Structure 1
Amino acid sequence: MIVIGAGLGGLALAHGLRRRGVDVDVYERDAHPGARPQGYRIQLDEPGLTGLRECLPAALFELCLSTAGAPPARVSVRNRHLDVLADRAAAGGARTPDAIGPRAFDRPTLRRIMLLGLGDRVHHGARLSAYRHETDGRVTACFADGRTATAELIVGADGVNSAVRRQLLPAAGVEDAGLRLVYGRIPLDDGTRRALPSWVFESIFTVLTDGPEGAHLGLGPVEFGTRPERSGRALTPPVDLPPVGDYVACMVGAPTGHPAMPAFEDLRTLPPDGLRDLALRLLGGGWHEDVHRLLDRWDTASLFPLRISTAAAVPAWEPGRVTLIGDAVHAMSPVLAMGANTALRDAGELSRALADPAGRGECPVRAVGAYESRMRDYAFPIVADSRRTGRRRVGQQ
């Protein structure tokens, strides 16, 4: 099997397939895992944690959990004066007796752990140009540097700008959600933790909103159960994980119609201190003093801009030897924190389908079709719910 994309979904799928005896290679367009910023904090609830546990070897899954934080499993929405607008249990669906509660992960650490055990099966610097169907029924991936690879199945896990999706489902568009973010983090030490308002740590994620036409602020604490470098050393055999300190992920966003929000092409050119100045202009006056205390602690060097996209509705398609998981097929805005959760669920669903008798042998198309049918049933309602919630809270289009 060939997986295009070494994000969380693609790496989970590779592990899930290998655990089930399927030969798999992952091709990633970036030159190395840290080639571009991909965010800091990631929240996994039951769908994502179940998919992760289903795919990863037990030792790696436990290593992931040992580095995760477990803030109170609530999501809070407040206005700019800190009045509570909504406070609910974090998403995750029905709980089972052995279910793990929501966890906050450091995304780079999680990805580093998921690269373990795949060795030379992950090929960096491989940008997919196209794929072609061979006369023997197999498919060949063609890369920009001239490399090719042939397998029984190609899985596009290559994100919002998926090259696999463009060829497989050319009518399946990805829409601009009309939201822009300045994303960064607030490092935590004992002094900073005491200086920050207590409500920051009372929920796994908090949104402060000035209404659908105004700016918003998102906050999510990442306090490691065990520091990654210590968890890595405790593994047998030990592994090296880069040291990471606790922090609060902090993002300021606004709809594209906000008078202070520049075009994304201009936003991308701003240096970190320019991004900080923009965030302060977006918030303007009238916000609670706690917000200014928070932004005073923002690590300016950590800031980078994000454009939010969402998948357009796509009718069912005929299954074949090319399929999609994660943002490559159902990109969604982050307001429900379900993007990564759904991608990891995809990985578990697809790896399990391909391990079933119907997915073995020369023709995995039946298993692909079963996976795609289930995926459409659970993923696209979440995309729609994310869009509705985003429109109501933060001005998503």
Structure 2
Amino acid sequence: MKSVIIVGAGIGGLCLAQGLAKAGIGFEVWEADAGPQVRGQGYRLRIDAMGQRALRQCLPPDLFELFRASCAVSGPARFVDPQLNPLPGRRPENWRENAGAGEADGDLSADRQVLRDILSHGLAPRIRWGRRAKGFEREGDGVALHCVDGHAHRANLVVAADGLNSPLRRQWLPKAEPEAIGALNLYGKVSPAGVDPALLAGPTIVFADGWTLVIEPMRFGAEMSELAARHAPDCRLSPTGDYVYWAMFGREASLGGSLSAEEDAAGLRRRIEAMSSGLHPSLSDLLRRTAPEAVMGRPVRMAAGVPSWQPGRLTVLGDAIHAMSPAGGVGANTALADAAMLAACLADGGIAQAVARYEADMRSRAEQALAATRAGTERLLRRL
């Protein structure tokens, strides 16, 4: 009987948990946060074909259909300069339009908290909120996982899915620490009321000098409670009304300098106001409408690559091993694919063989995604 501890209740860790539940494999999910909504988790996630396949594989059919139904409905993207003049030549070759209503192809724009609600459904008895892992020891055919509360827990397999600051990865693979790339990601959301209707028709990608602004309307087909009642009546989704998501990605020098850990919401808001000057009035108005508490920001860190190691009873997925810049739009999708592959491998065979097969697949996929992300980062940071 396999026993698995998944460290981290983010998108990748919860997707893996759903896959293990479907396969009948015993597991627990540890999450350092005291609950599912104790801190901001971000806003919009674009889920591409790879991510959708992973979710379809791991989720029960009713939850997968709820995921699709809960995504935003949007139109085609436009690519413009800061005065909203068209820049068709800046459209990335690999840009994927959002899927329309009822369409099978195309990306889907999901609200991060709603997706997390869906991925958490049915797992409550197995999620240990407020349990923070600080280190591990290998013990025979398993791993002893140590908590900050002094207790140790043992499992046949431990999966570090706890993000780019993973303490398990730092202990195990200290040279795999993601590196700062000298860029920032500032993002927020605002009510669509009063926003220029042209910005509500579909995604708008604004290319400026050394930075890029992405704006996407998140307009949902119905109330989340109605969608849940229609597709998975027992699932409780966070109330989420329509909003406009925006994200600024750029060089630190172009976005007001490096970001300190002490910078508060007011400081982030001042950066946004400074960046608003010189933009088309529709863009500056949208940014200035954003409440300070809705603005988030973080320095961008990225893995240089995925190192080699001897497969064992500890493995990693998602940002814990291949953190990516948001520029390529593939970080969350790669984590979902990791989760689906690991679940499939564990369902098919013993732990040793499953981990070796998974890690070979993960490493190849992650290196391709990192290459795509580097290319996307260079494109978005390009100077005019």
Fold agreement, TM-score > 0.5: yes
TM-score normalised per structure 1: 0.87
Match of 2:346 in 1: 354
Match of 1:289 among 271, 277, 281: 281
> 2: CA distance between counterparts of 1:101 and 1:157?
27
Q: Secondary structure at the match of 2:377?
A: helix
- Residue 78 in structure 1 maps to residue 69 in structure 2: no
**Cα displacement (A) at 1:324:** 0.7
Conserved? CA contact 1:211–1:393, under 8 Å: no
> 2: CA distance between counterparts of 1:33 and 1:381?
32
Matching residue's letter, 2:81? N
> 2: CA distance between counterparts of 1:68 and 1:197?
20
Alignment coverage as a number of residue pairs: 372
Match of 2:265 among 254, 258, 271: 271
Q: Secondary structure at the match of 1:354?
A: helix
Q: For each residue in 1:90-149, what CA deviation from the matched residue of structure 2 results, as whole angstroms up to 9, or x when unmatched?
A: 449xxxxx95431111111111121110022011111111111113x1111111012322
Matching residue's letter, 2:17? A
Matching residue's letter, 1:78? V
Match of 1:128 in 2: 133
Matching residue's letter, 1:20? A
Match of 2:215 in 1: 219
* Large movers: runs of 4+ above 6 Å: none
Match of 1:95 in 2: none
> 2: CA distance between counterparts of 1:19 and 1:238?
17
Matching residue's letter, 1:282? M
Conserved? CA contact 1:320–1:365, under 8 Å: yes
Conserved? CA contact 1:46–1:99, under 8 Å: no
Match of 2:368 in 1: 381
Superposition pairs for residues 13-28 of structure 1, below 5 Å? 13-28=16-31
Superposition pairs for residues 1-397 of structure 1, below 5 Å? 1-72=4-75, 76-82=78-84, 83-84=86-87, 85-87=89-91, 90-91=95-96, 99-135=104-140, 137-189=141-193, 192=194, 195-203=195-203, 206-212=204-210, 215-235=211-231, 237-258=233-254, 261-265=256-260, 268-272=262-266, 274-285=267-278, 287-356=279-348, 359-360=349-350, 364-394=351-381
Unaligned 5+ residue runs, structure 1? 93-97
Describe the shift of the 1:75–1:306 C-alpha distance in structure 2 as closer, same or farther (beyond 3 A).
Answer: farther
What value does the CA root-mean-square deviation take over the aligned residues? 2.2
Q: For each residue in 1:190-218, what CA deviation from the matched residue of structure 2 results, as whole angstroms up to 9, or x when unmatched?
A: xx3xx424255233xx3212133xx4322
Between 37-46 and 383-392, the greater mean CA deviation after superposition: 383-392
> 2: CA distance between counterparts of 1:352 and 1:202?
36
TM-score normalised per structure 2: 0.90
Percent of aligned positions with the same letter in both sequences?
35
**Cα displacement (A) at 1:317:** 1.8
Q: Secondary structure at the match of 1:371?
A: helix
Unaligned 5+ residue runs, structure 2? 98-102
Q: Secondary structure at the match of 1:257?
A: helix
> 2: CA distance between counterparts of 1:148 and 1:100?
46
Q: For each residue in 1:138-184, what CA deviation from the matched residue of structure 2 results, as whole angstroms up to 9, or x when unmatched?
A: 11111101232211111110001112211222221201122223321
Describe the shift of the 1:282–1:34 C-alpha distance in structure 2 as closer, same or farther (beyond 3 A).
Answer: same
Conserved? CA contact 2:265–2:292, under 8 Å: no
Between 310-319 and 367-376, the greater mean CA deviation after superposition: 310-319
**Cα displacement (A) at 1:58:** 1.3
